[in-house]
Amino acid sequence: MVEIMVLPPARRMVLWGDTAVADRAGAAFGLALPHQPCRAVEAGTRAALWLGPGEWLLLGPDGDDPPLAPALADLPHSLVEISDGFAALALHGPGAARALSAGCPLDLHEAAFPVGMVTRTVLGRIGITLWRRAAAEWRLEVPRSHAAYAEDFLAEATRGMPGF
């Protein structure tokens, strides 16, 4: 059983900077940015996702406006709002990993891709950001113009699966 949902609009910001920037941003954002590779942390309605060394994706509800820019004003950094560039899909259910595996070459077993892990990867012919929020709950950040492809790809992948 897999449920595919298009999630509502969200606030998205990409932050580049060193440890001092991360610490300052974490204080302004209300949660400590993860330093461990490929890990996400969430608190309340906000989440911070490690995308690369010194690079984080900060997620919040639509219209969220944490005071990051003033907090970082005197530190070299890059902070870019990319809210409208991406769309989010949620994938729920015990068959979700299997559906993703139709187009994602990563090992999605919980031992290899545990809860709280996030990474950019591929799904079929597109690049996605894949985040495991719970054992059977995934969030995909997809470039907006690829969102329909991702949704169709996953719907197709679930056809004929047990329980459908």
Partner 1 sequence: MLIIRCPYCEANRPEPEFRHAGAAHIVRPLDPSATTDAEWAEFLYHRDNPRGTVAERWRHIHGCGRFFNALRDTVSDRILSTYPAGQGRPE
Applying CB under 8 A, the residues found at the interface with partner 1 are 37-38, 51-53, 55, 105-106, 119-122, 127
| Contact (Cβ atoms closer than 8 angstroms) between residue 121 and residue 138 | no
Q: In angstroms, what is the minimal distance from the CB of 154 to partner 1?
A: 18
Q: In angstroms, what is the minimal distance from the CB of 73 to partner 1?
A: 26
Q: What is the DSSP string of 137-149?
A: EEEEEEEGGGHHH
Give the H or E element holding residue 105. none
Q: For residues 16 and 27, which CB has a smaller minimum distance to partner 1 in the complex?
A: 16
Tokens at residue 63, please?
């219209």
Q: In angstroms, what is the minimal distance from the CB of 118 to partner 1?
A: 11
Q: In angstroms, what is the minimal distance from the CB of 162 to partner 1?
A: 26
Sign of CA dihedral 8, 5, 84, 117: positive
Strands of 83-156 (E only): list them: 86-92, 118-123, 126-134, 137-143
Q: For residues 18 and 55, which CB has a smaller minimum distance to partner 1 in the complex?
A: 55
Hunting for tokens 């509800």 — which residue is that?
A: 61
Q: For residues 65 and 107, which CB has a smaller minimum distance to partner 1 in the complex?
A: 107
Q: For residues 61 and 114, which CB has a smaller minimum distance to partner 1 in the complex?
A: 114
Hunting for tokens 């400590």 — which residue is that?
A: 32
Q: In angstroms, what is the minimal distance from the CB of 127 to partner 1?
A: 5
Q: For residues 46 and 120, which CB has a smaller minimum distance to partner 1 in the complex?
A: 120
Residue 106 gets the label, from left (phi > 0), alpha (psi -120 to 50) or beta, of: beta
